Structure 1
Amino acid sequence: MLRKFIYGLCLVALLVIVGGYGYLHTKLPQRSGEIVLPGLKHKVQVLFDEWAVPHIEAQNEQDAFLALGYLHAQDRLFQLELMIRVAQGRLSEILGEDMLDADRYFRTLGISRFAETYAKDYFHKNPQNVKDALKAYLSGLNAFVSGGPAPIEFTLLGIPKREYTIKDLICTGVYMSYTFTNAVRQDPLLSYIHNTFGAGYLKDLAVYWPKDDTKIDVSSKSSGSELELAELSFEIANLLSQVPTFFGSNAWAVSGSRTKSGKVILANDPHIGYAAPSTWYEAHLKTPDWELYGHHIAGIPFALIGHNRRMAWGVTMLQNDDLDFYLERTNPDNPDQVWFRDDWEDLRIIEEAIPVRDREDYPLRIRISRHGPVINDVLEPVKESVKQPVALSWQMLSDFENSTEQVFYELGHSKTLADTHAAVSKLHAPGLNISYGDAEGNIAWWAAARLLIRPSHVNSFIFLDGASGKDEFTGYRDFSGNPQSVNPDSGIVFNANNQPGDMGTGLEPGYYAPETRARRLSQLLKQEKYDWTTSDMQQIQLDTKHPGIPRFRKYFLEVLNESSRRDKLFQSAAETFINWDGNHAKDAVGPTIYHRLFYHLSISIFADEIGEKGTMVLLSTSLADKSIPRILSSPESPWW
């Protein structure tokens, strides 16, 4: 009897395993066979290579983009759904109240409001070919939603399938742009330091670019609310850590005069956060009169980096300052009015309800001034104790004439240097470095963005005065004044999120990365070498040497040289660190010693003023990396 029971139990287990396998197998993407898609004008052939990269061959562009949309949905639908929900503040609906802070923040920020207005009132202003491509992509996306299997994540989380819209696609692009911004963490923190400890403490922080650091070559008193706001943005970033972000990139181009083949070599390695599935979606699109091999992101039909038979382009984050915080002055008789210049202005009020899984909806009241949404309203402690509103002004959400879709559509159709220049000059936000090379031997780099002109007295890294009208930006630079370099005599253009050089109007303020990557690129690329190959470029991309280690290490030589007085572990660590050449090899111990030393040094320098949490915010920006060397060389720094 027991034997029969065990046999029966094993049979049930086997049936469950087989059934489960069969069920999961239905969720796999289709890589062969035939699919009938509504809206196709002609037959489209899709071949997958050994890496599952689709090679799409169609008779016209609309069919190619429709097929791409279907494939994006088949392979990345949950990823797309997640990014849209982040942008629109709808995570709590599926993940519960743990995501409520993130939802309140992003609903207040207003990505969804911007996308809705853009889709309704501005999308039609795009060129017809751009609109046709976007609509075709969207049709392909929705064809899978209506006819394909729901991803397993949809089933597990109870996410209903729905038809996606142009608004959703816009939200995806704007959210990715948001991940570029450092101002949401850095500006509140710097304002807190400035108002609490004084300008002297900012002096030794590398808020502005140190004079001698490597730049991109051009050819031509506090309540504490600021610190809480910085900590909030840091915590939200942690909440959303599973949604990949861009955090740094390198790109360079070498002219044919310096290569073995005599042809231009372009190298680009965007440092996007790791994710499974990958954030990038590699695809090859071909029609009788157009061809492009590029890297896409789900929800964005146009390649962000790519190449055709005539040219190639790459991108890195520019990190220019296009986001400001304004302190508003509230009417004591009406908290929903703020002063501007010579009169009280009504705040725009929006009432929303956030659906939350397994509990009642959460009511949200959003206040918006002429500068933007009042962002400290999402901080309950600050909301109760601080009456002065802080409005967030981000160019990405106020510039409806900006069409990133058109920019990347035109980049994907460019054939010449002039075509590419015309395309990148249309980009307003987010700020990007565009690197370029073509079959004619041209190389170029452009800082592509609509750069703000601010009054000379304005320090855009701390909270600005929203009441007087004196801190308003006054216009935009003409693109000809943007940092750029076209066919320089050196035969090299490169950037690594570092500060662009001066085009004659002063350095552009921004949240630029430490210059160490740029300095290392300069060391490698500017050597007297005229036979560069693609293999050489791959080795540079894999280079792990930190050029700032000798400078950093010299401040600790006295302690290190006294290691004989310490225990054996200290002696061993000191010897390792002294002899370390700065390379971050996977089996090297030097990097571990350096990064732990840097971390504890940061805590000891900053935590007594801004707390450990504030120090973690600082470490999440580039400020600590840029400022520690300056503070180490300044014995009189107030941070000591």
Structure 2
Amino acid sequence: MGLVFKWSLRLFLLLALLAGLALAGVYYLASRSLVDYNADYTVPAISGPVEIIRNNSGVPHIFAEDDNDVYYGLGFAHAQDRLWQMTMLRRTAQGRLSEQFGERTVKVDKLIRRLDLYGHAQRAVAFQDDRTRAALDAYAAGVNAWLRIVNRDALGRGAPEFFLFSPQIAPWQPADSIAVIKLMGLQLSGHLEEEVIRARTSLLLEPERVRDLLPDAPGTGIAALDYAALLEGLDLPRYAANTSGPKNPLSPFPERGLAGASNAFAAAPERSAAGGTLLANDPHLGLSAPSIWYLARLDLSTGGVIGGTIPGMPVILTGRSDKVGWGLTTAYVDDQDVLIEKVNPDNPDEYLTPDGYKPFRKGQSIIKIKDAPSQTINLRWTDNGPVLPEDHYNLGTITPLNHEAALSWTLLTDQDTSMQAGLQIMRAGSAAEVIAAAADYVAPAQNLTIVDQESIALKTIGHVPRRNPAHQSRGRIPSPGWLEQNRWLGVMPYASNPEFTRPSGGILGNTNNKVIDRPFPNHISYHYGDTQRVQRWRRLMLNREVHTRDSFVEAQLDTVSFTARSLLPLIAADLWYTDEAAPDGTPERQRQRALALMAEWNGEMSEHLPEPLIYAAWLRALQTRLIRDEIGTLESEFTHVEPLFIERVFRDVEGAAVWCDVLQSAPVETCTDISRYALDDALVWLEEKYGRNIESWRWGDAHEATHDHQVLGSIPLLSAFVNIRQSTSGGDNTLLRGRTSGKGPDPFQNVHAAGYRGVYDFADPDSSLFVMATGQSGHPLSRHYDDLGVLWRRGEYIPMSLDPELARAGAEGTITLVPE
């Protein structure tokens, strides 16, 4: 027995030793790619020394005599901290994910290739002016300089991920930076899905009921359209099942309801306590680890610029100089149209145009697949745009037999000078100069909120399609592409884009809400990302005669839901304090406890309270009960509660209360009945997930921010090291927006939020603040992988100074690049 024990112990110790050695080896290899922030390098392609001074948050301050050398330094810093992320962005835009990840990403690559994002980016290089091409060349040279150092000094392949996947990295090219902009445009697009959903819904419901479920943003709109009538006589798949599968974590295509959101607001000097302009901006994108954002300061010949960049691009996208500040919000311009193309029944290589049948433009693309044979896909284009297959975007559910769906989209152009506009904005000295510089911007369309030292302004930038006044659907649903009136007539002139300068009230802002109410075809869109947050923002702005940096921070972090305050009195009006006393342990008693809590709640979506969780689960169950019997399996596409729909139903706007009656049941249910049933549904679900004690429930347990690593985040054990999870306040309709997933076993996880927050006070510019959602480094072993995320979760910020001496005084390290 003793002998067995002795050898078992020896075997255990040997295995422990081997495991320890293996872990030590893994750590050694991974740590080789940790960046030394104190180093000198001799590099090619710069005209003079470049200083990269990183402060104690890892934010690089880049100094050089020549602007192109500054862009070189930014490319060098981006590559040091985010090399894996940059290569993933490029691979995604090129449609080359399957070379690394095999068959699971083939569908993503196929769609990217059909859109030809990278081809458009390559051809767009020729349309940039000389200064922009020089900046792109310098940035690419900086990235490539770091790649050479990694290879020369065996620095762990540049990032730990390259030990698990192919370490081959092609040199960075100017087209790669333009491709990243186009990829961002893809992630902020949503009108295609809205057209498909509207068409599918109109095949099942009367126009009035479509208007209930898919309401226009408040203001002048048009009645819901009948898709079947638009394509009368064609064989439409009215009850087709979804053709799109579950979301691939590597896919850049946004799910419906997650196509971008942001807040930006500004105050003129007369509305500022300190007498200077104020600007706050928090752009929202899908959460990830590392964040898509990267903070940087560039010391250009026109002055210092500091703010948020995206690795892969030499541009401060949102930030400030000593003269101006600018912030971005998605404008929700209707920049996509689906055109149904009629295929020639006698020749499948032709499609119908207003001038008769015409051949498709064709091409081929070969997709290399890891551990599988390559696939060749046939590409086709019409005059309206690329032809998309039926299994993308659920297009098969609305495409008639012997027809194809083509996509018109402002992003799909070679003449894309958006990068040029971004570089010009950084050099602007006034709000007027910023607006003039943004004329070159193409896509994705944004609302640009601007302040200089004396004034504030808001301008919608990007191309707005020019549609024929006789357009059959006004861009709301897919339309016959063979009819002249449904085709685009180019783009609207930049001067016609909405613009607001020096408003009399001294306050400007946008929360993805409707900014202007003009009749078609001069409208901007019928569909917007927000009808709710703007109501709370307006109240916070009007509650103060003058604002401060701190009041702007308070508004940026506000967690009170206008939606909850407006809907709860409607859905609970006949439920509060109406039931008879019930014994503990019964569903009736549980409902009474929940209603008592809700009656005293002020709508604050605090992570520490149970009320937001009850409210969110109740509204989710309520919408499901209202729509499931009318639209069947299509209900799964409505993953987020539409507040305007709930309000229309409970106010019985245009007979919308008819949704409360269950079609398949004999009794006639009232809206009070459905509201009670939905609350019971929600409480049963919450009890199963969080236990019976209502007071112990916490919104933050359900509303965790999911900063997941795009690739390693789904691998057991590794996920614990690379994923960042945080309990968070806020919700779908609060200014501190934390958009929920809407799907799966954890539908309230926070998956889409403000990855960057900045507040700039031009009365005291160096008191300006910013923060991002994770950290500067993409390396899981770096202390800068998640250090800023701790502040972000608590609603804290770091200083945002352009003073070079402050940067040097608080330096964590300085990298000096010396020309060869």
Equivalences for residues 520-539 of structure 1 within 5 A: 520-530=536-546, 532-539=547-554
Which residue does 2:190 correspond to in 1?
A: 182
User: What's the TM-score once normalised by structure 1's chain length?
Assistant: 0.90
Deviations 1:462-509 (A, max 9, x none): 001101212122343333322221011100001000011236876421
Structure 1 residue 287: deviation in Å? 4.4
Which residue of the other structure, out of 140, 143, 146, is the alignment partner of 1:141? 143
- Aligned partner of 1:259 in structure 2 is 272
Measured against aligned partners, the alpha-carbon deviations of 1:6-62 in whole angstroms (never above 9, x if no partner) come to 766655444434333322221112211112221121111111111000111111111
Kept after mapping to 2: 8 A contact 1:366/1:377: no
Q: Is the 8 A contact 1:306 1:312 kept in 2?
A: yes
Q: Does 1:240 pair with 2:251?
A: yes
Q: Identify which range, 502-511 or 125-134, moves more after superposition.
A: 502-511
Given the superposition, is the C-alpha separation of residues 212 and 511 from structure 1 closer, same or farther in structure 2, using an over 3 Å criterion?
closer
Q: 1:288 to 1:346 in 2, by over 3 A?
A: closer
- Alignment of 1:540 with 2:555, yes or no, is yes
**Which one has more relative contact order, counting CA pairs under 8 Å at least 6 apart?**
2
Structure 2 Cα separation of the partners of residues 152 and 88 of structure 1: 22
After superposition, the C-alpha distances for 1:208-259 in whole angstroms (9 at most, x for unaligned) are 222399xxxxxxx386669879762x84476537999862110000011111
Q: Do the aligned partners of residues 8 and 581 (structure 1) sit closer, same or farther apart at CA in structure 2, a change above 3 Å counting?
A: closer
SS at match of 2:70: helix
Q: Which residue in 1 is equivalent to 2:3?
A: none
CA, structure 1 residues 171+350, in 2 after alignment: closer, same or farther (shift >3 Å)? Answer: same
Shift of 1:183: 1.4
Aligned counterpart, 1:280: 293
Match of 2:637 in 1: 617
Q: Is the 8 A contact 2:361 2:382 kept in 1?
A: yes
Larger CA deviation: 149-158 vs 171-180: 149-158
**Does the Cα contact within 8 Å between 1:436 and 1:444 map onto a contact in 2?**
yes
1:4 to 1:639, Cα distance in 2 relative to 1, 3 A:
closer
Alignment of 1:543-562 (within 5 A): 543-556=558-571, 557-562=573-578
Shift of 1:92: 1.8
CA contact (8 A) 1:109 1:373 kept: yes
Cα 1:73–1:610 shift into 2, 3 Å? farther
Task: Give how far 1:396 is off.
Answer: 0.8
What's the counterpart of residue 268 of structure 1? Answer: 281
Aligned partner of 1:152 in structure 2 is: 160
1:167/1:617 CA distance change after superposition, 3 Å: farther
Whether 1:584 aligns to 2:605 is yes
Separation (CA, whole Å) in 1 of partners of 2:301 and 2:384: 48
Q: Which residue of 1 aligns with 2:524?
A: 508
Give how far 1:603 is off: 1.7
Alpha-carbon shift at residue 206 of structure 1 (Å):
4.2
CA contact (8 A) 1:563 1:570 kept: no
**Are the equivalent residues in 2 in contact too, given 1:188–1:462 (CA < 8 A)?**
yes
Cα RMSD after superposing both structures: 2.8
Normalising by structure 2, report the TM-score: 0.71
Amino acid corresponding to residue 143 of structure 2 in structure 1: L
Task: Write the deviation string for residues 114-139 of structure 1: whole angstroms up to 9, x where unpaired.
Answer: 22332xxxx23322111111110011
SS, match of residue 219 in structure 2? coil
Q: Does the Cα contact within 8 Å between 1:303 and 1:412 map onto a contact in 2?
A: yes
> Structure 1 residues 226 and 446 mapped into 2: Cα distance closer, same or farther (>3 Å)?
farther
Q: Tell me which residue corresponds to 1:629.
A: 647
Which residue identity is paired with 1:65? Y
Structure 1 residue 406 corresponds to structure 2 residue 417: no
**Matched residue of 1:559: which SS?**
coil
Match of residue 323 from structure 1 = 336
Quickly say closer, same or farther: Cα 1:205–1:7, change in 2 above 3 A. closer
Opposite residue 125 of structure 1, the aligned amino acid is: F
The residue that corresponds to 1:292 in the other structure is 305
- Give, in angstroms, the shift of residue 95 of structure 1: 1.3
AA partner of residue 484 (structure 1): E
Runs (5+) with no aligned partner, structure 1 = 214-220
- Which has the higher mean CA deviation after the structures are superposed, 276-285 or 84-93? 84-93
Q: How many angstroms does 1:299 deviate by?
A: 1.0
Stretch deviating more after TM superposition (591-600 or 451-460): 451-460
> Alignment partner of 1:591: what SS?
helix
Over 3 Å counting, the alpha-carbon distance change for 1:577 and 1:103 in structure 2 is: same
Structure having the higher helix fraction is: 1
Name which of 84, 88, 112 aligns with 1:82.
88
- Of residues 444, 458, 461, the one that matches 1:445 is 458
Residue 56 (1) aligns with residue 71 (2): no
Following superposition, the deviation at residue 73 of structure 1 comes to 1.2
| Cα pair 1:327 1:465 within 8 Å, conserved | yes
1:367 Cα offset (Å)? 1.8
Match for residue 604 of structure 1?
A: 625
Distance 2:376 2:320 in 1: 48
Q: Does residue 1:392 correspond to 2:407, yes or no?
A: yes
Q: Answer whether contact 2:331 2:447 (CA < 8 A) is retained.
A: yes
Name the structure 2 match of 1:481.
Answer: 496
CA separation of 1:108/1:498 partners in 2, compared to 1, >3 Å: closer, same or farther? same
- Within the candidate set 12, 22, 26, 1:20 is matched to 26
User: 1:158 is aligned with what amino acid?
Assistant: S
2:427 corresponds to 1:427: no
- In the TM superposition, residue 526 of structure 1 has moved relative to its aligned partner by 1.8
Call closer, same or farther: CA 1:273–1:172 in 2, change over 3 Å: same
CA apart distance, 1:561 = 3.9
Are 1:115 and 1:168, in contact at CA under 8 Å, matched by a contact in 2? yes
Q: Please give the per-residue CA displacement for 1:179-198, whole angstroms capped at 9, x wherever unaligned.
A: 11111321111111223434
Contact 2:450 2:457 in 1 (8 A): yes
Query: 1:460 and 2:475 equivalent?
Result: yes
Partner of 1:335: 348
The corresponding residue for 1:492 is 507
1:262 aligned partner, one-letter code = G
* 8 A Cα contact 2:67 2:301, kept in partner: no
CA distance in 1, matches of 2:43, 2:20: 37
| SS of residue matched to 1:392 | strand
Q: Matched residues in 2 for 1:179 and 1:254: separation? A: 30
Q: What is the CA-CA distance between 1:5 and the residue it aligns to? A: 6.7
Indicate how the Cα distance of structure 1 residues 30 and 178 shifts in structure 2: closer, same or farther if over 3 A, else same.
Answer: same
1:472 aligns with 2:490: no
The answer (yes or no) to whether the contact 2:470–2:485 under 8 Å persists in 1 is: no
Q: Is the CA contact (8 Å cut-off) linking 1:498 and 1:515 kept in structure 2?
A: yes
Partners of 2:379 and 2:27 in 1: CA distance? 47
Q: Report the Cα distance in structure 1 between the residues aligned to 2:90 and 2:143, rounded to whole angstroms.
A: 14
C-alpha distance after superposition, 1:164-186 (max 9, x if no partner): 22232222110111111111321
Q: CA deviation at 1:418?
A: 2.2
> 2:171, 2:39 → 1: CA distance?
25
- 1:385 shift after superposition: 8.6
Structure 2 SS opposite 1:615: helix
Q: Which AA in structure 2 matches 1:53?
A: V
Residue 352 of structure 1 corresponds to: 365
2:174 to 157, 162, 166: 166
Q: Match for 1:605: what amino acid?
A: L
Q: Distance in 2 between matches of 1:445 and 1:237?
A: 36
- Give aligned pairs, total: 622
Identity of aligned residues (%): 25
In structure 2, the partner of 1:217 is none
Contact kept in structure 2, 1:145 and 1:162, CA below 8 Å: no
Distance 1:10 1:457 in 2: 76
Q: Give secondary structure in 1 for the equivalent of 2:460.
A: strand
Measure the CA separation in 2 of the matches of 1:68 and 1:252: 28
Cα 1:243–1:16 shift into 2, 3 Å: farther
The amino acid across from 1:248 in the alignment is A
Q: Could you tell me whether the CA contact under 8 Å between 2:243 and 2:391 is conserved in 1?
A: no
Partners of 1:289 and 1:211 lie apart in 2 by 43
1:373/1:392 contact within 8 Å kept? yes
2:190–2:254 CA contact under 8 A, matched in 1: no
